[in-house]
Amino acid sequence: MKILVTGAAGYIGAILVPALLKESHCIIAVDNFMYNQTPLLDCCNNKNLEIIRGDARDKSLIAKLIKEVDVILPLACLTGSPLCKKDPTTARSVVLDAIKMINDLRSKEQIIIFPTTNSGYGIGEKDKYCTEEALLKPISLYGKLKVEAENVILNSPNSITLRLATVFGISPRMRLDLLVNDFTYRALNDKYIVLFEAGFKRNYIHVRDVAKVFLHCLNNFEQMKNEPYNVGLSDANLSKMELAEKIKNQIPELFLVESDISEDPDKRDYVISNEKIEKTGFKPQISLEEGIAELIKGYQVIKNNKFSNV
């Protein structure tokens, strides 16, 4: 198929685009390369890839490109609560308005698969798993915009939304501001982590498994369409302390301390059920432990914190 990917050089896109090319899809990759990194360079020899330096909010550009494709994967995003809080106007234009525009421009026959976030669940009920039927109660601006954008997509035909768990792992467009990536980096370089509200729980998923779930959706679209799906590791509904302990298992010199002198600005606290997507045949392949080992190796290369969104 011919596929338009916006935000194609981002943390997920830098993994997903090569995976799509490997499956012989033709890709139009749009990105503004705002983080000044160099993902997708290793794909430039592929004749099925077209790279366009452009803005996902550029209506004339997107309107022209969208006519050429069978599938749209709108990844372009100001990702994360801190970044959206820092620049709420731009956040709304990228996270929500651009998605509305893309959805208005596409035909009813064109497939759209939209990555959202399970942070939309906000604060869940204690020990009760959030299924796709659970009430969405986003806390942050990022979560609220993503939930609104998801509603736009799901109210249109030929759509799938993926409520991604907190993503981790090495990507050519690396991010250190994701929780597993951040904790592992601190463990290696600072040898200690101060935990605020250490009992707050969330779910996790490796970035390569995120790429695989997009491929799974494309290959099973008819049976999956017009539905939202939680996507995470079912054995990784962990508190921040439990996550830190798993990192300590691989970096024994790590010192952990809980503190109540401050609080985590990200108040998310929930456990997630991934049963719905598992019933379609998708199972993540990379464990949290394998991801931590990968990060430890990768951080022999990365030695500063420029690889973050804020």
User: Do 309 and 177 meet the contact criterion of CB atoms below 8 Å apart?
Assistant: yes
Instruction: Write the CATH number of the domain with boundaries 2-237+249-257+261-298.
Output: 3.40.50.720
pLDDT in tens, 251-290: 999 999 998 776 666 678 899 999 999 999 999 999 999 9
Backbone angles phi, psi at 144, to 5 degrees: -65, -40
What is the pTM for the complete model shown?
0.95
Burial tier of 298 (Cβ tally within 10 Å: 0-12, 13-18, 19+): middle
pLDDT in tens, 81-90: 888 899 999 9
Residue 171 structure tokens: 């990507």
Confidence of residue 36 (pLDDT cuts 50, 70, 90): confident
Residue 129 structure tokens: 């798993």
pLDDT in tens, 38-72: 999 999 999 999 999 999 999 999 999 999 999 99
At 298 the pLDDT is 96
User: Do 141 and 79 meet the contact criterion of CB atoms below 8 Å apart?
Assistant: no
Q: What is the domain partition of the chain in residue ranges?
A: 2-237+249-257+261-298
- Say whether 112 sits in a helix, a strand or coil: strand
